[in-house]
Structure 1
Amino acid sequence: MQTCLVIDEFAVVRKVASRILTLSGYNALVADTLEQAIGMIAEAGTVDIVVVSATLPDASVDDAVRRVRQEPGASRAIVLASLVEANLGLMTRAKRAGALGFIYRPFDRESLTGWLRAYAPAEEAKTRELA
């Protein structure tokens, strides 16, 4: 099962994302700050996908993406930036820092899993495709 870490400052986003991810076949971890996320990566050992909010209170999106990428347990992770709206400057900084793509908020189950599936299908879905 793939592990997806969602770093977002809003409790409702973390709760909804966690529920959607769990129901969709991902192991979900959530953090409200970058520092908490770094600790979770170290504790988990490895994460497969990291969704980083572009509006974290303790780091800019480019700094957050770089810090996540520096962690041994997330160096090969798919890192996606979570945005409220398309902002070319913000998106460019996130991409240059190592983000692979973007997820837009607010999201529902269909949109979140659709974005994630494009980058890293859940193990459960992979198993069904092979059968």
Structure 2
Amino acid sequence: MKTCLIIDEAPVIRKIAFRLLSRDGLDVDTLETPSEAFEWIDSNGAPDILIVAASTQDKTVVDEIKRLRERAGPSMHIVAMIVEANLGLMTRLRRAGVEGYLYKPFDRTLLEESLRPFLEPVAVSA
């Protein structure tokens, strides 16, 4: 079973994402801040997918994502939850290791579409 860690300061976002992803068969856990994820990874290992909220107001999130990527390695997929398409923020997030974006507010369809590349098995060419 694939694991997913959701990090967002808003309890309602964590609750909605938890419910939607748990129904899809993922083993899901939630945290309020990226700094809590280091201890979580030390205790549980790196999740398959990390979904983390990012905004231009939070000046530390890009550095924390970069450190999480270094700690967990390349097997962990990182998706950033953002409110708007801010090219500067998106570029910094991409450089830190983010592989995809999920726009807030989201519904089941948007959530599934943003995670689909990381949930589908990789096709092996013969």
Partners in 2 of 1:110 and 1:24 — Cα distance? Answer: 12
Residue range with higher mean Cα deviation, 84-93 or 106-115: 106-115
- TM superposition outliers: structure 1 runs of 4+ over 6 Å: none
Q: How does 1:37-116 map to 2 (within 5 A)?
A: 37-55=37-55, 60-71=60-71, 74-75=72-73, 76-116=75-115
Q: Distance in 1 between matches of 2:21 and 2:80?
A: 16
Where does the alignment leave 5 or more consecutive residues of structure 1 unmatched? 127-131
Residue 17 of structure 1 corresponds to which residue in structure 2? 17
Q: Which runs of 5+ in 2 are unaligned?
A: 122-126
Q: TM-score, normalised by structure 2?
A: 0.86
8 Å Cα contact 1:52/1:64 also seen in 2: no
Query: Identity over the aligned pairs, expressed in percent?
Result: 43
Q: Report the CA distance shift for 1:23/1:12 in structure 2 as closer, same or farther (over 3 A).
A: same
Provide the C-alpha distance between the structure 2 equivalents of 1:65 and 1:36, rounded to a whole number of angstroms: 12
Q: Tell which has more relative contact order, 1 or 2 (C-alpha 8 A, sep 6+).
A: 1
In the alignment of these two chains, the number of paired residues is 120
Q: Residue by residue, what CA displacement relative to the aligned partner does 1:79-103 show, whole Å, maximum 9, x if unpaired?
A: 1111011000000000011111111
Code of the aligned partner of 1:87? N
CA-atom RMSD in angstroms: 1.9
- Greater shift, 48-57 or 77-86, is seen at 48-57
Shift of residue 118 of structure 1? 2.3
